[in-house]
Amino acid sequence: MPENFKPLQWTDELATGVDVIDKQHKMLINILNDANRCFRDRGDRELQKKVIDDLLSYTVYHFDTEEELMETSGLGDISPDDELKHIHEHRAFTGKAREYQSAVHDGNSIDYESVFSFLNGWLVNHVMGTDKKLGAFLNSK
């Protein structure tokens, strides 16, 4: 199995210390792993559409939760650059995922190894860096 299709595994290293965020990250990992498997196994087109749609809608829901927490905690007033950078990273993920979603829906072939290499890598890097920093800020309040 290519390296990129190794399922992501939740570990305590990924914990931000904020319950709602950690629960959603676990869910996101499951959904991303399902999507990885579907494309790896060349699931039929309808299933591919469903997994990419599910991935995107859960991601948007999750980003909304984090961005709401940034808003209510006053992060934007204290560290506007951190808030902007965080939101910018979220948009990079949804932008890329939407490109893939359109390709799947239009029936275009996609290089799914590079797709999931990007999405998996993004998730781990983002959680380990940006989200943990947000978690530390929220827990300091």
Please choose, out of 11-19, 23-31, 41-49, 62-70, the segment that lies near Fe ion by the rule CB under 5 A: 62-70
CB-wise, 66 or 83, nearer to Fe ion?
66
Give me 134's structure tokens: 């947000």
One residue of 16, 28, 36, 66 binding Fe ion per CB under 5 A? 66
CB-wise, 22 or 66, nearer to Fe ion?
66
- Binding footprint of Fe ion, residue count (CB under 5 A): 2
Asked if 83 interacts with Fe ion (CB under 5 A), we say no
Asked if 131 interacts with Fe ion (CB under 5 A), we say yes
Give me 133's structure tokens: 């920093």
Please choose, out of 1-9, 44-52, 63-71, 99-107, the segment that lies near Fe ion by the rule CB under 5 A: 63-71
Closest by CA to 92, choosing from 130, 128, 65, is 130
Please choose, out of 7-15, 44-52, 58-66, 92-100, the segment that lies near Fe ion by the rule CB under 5 A: 58-66
**Helix/strand/coil (H/E/C) assignment for every residue in 8-63:** CCCCHHHCCCCHHHHHHHHHHHHHHHHHHHHHHCCCCHHHHHHHHHHHHHHHHHHH
Give me 80's structure tokens: 């506007």
CB-wise, 38 or 123, nearer to Fe ion?
123
Four-residue CA torsion sign, 40, 100, 95, 27: negative
Please choose, out of 25-33, 41-49, 60-68, 101-109, the segment that lies near Fe ion by the rule CB under 5 A: 60-68
Q: Please, how many CA atoms are within 13 Å of residue 3, restricted to the half-sphere of its CB?
A: 4
Give me 13's structure tokens: 């290293």
Closest approach, Cβ 53 to Fe ion, in A, equals 21
Binding residues for Fe ion, rule: CB under 5 A, are 66, 131
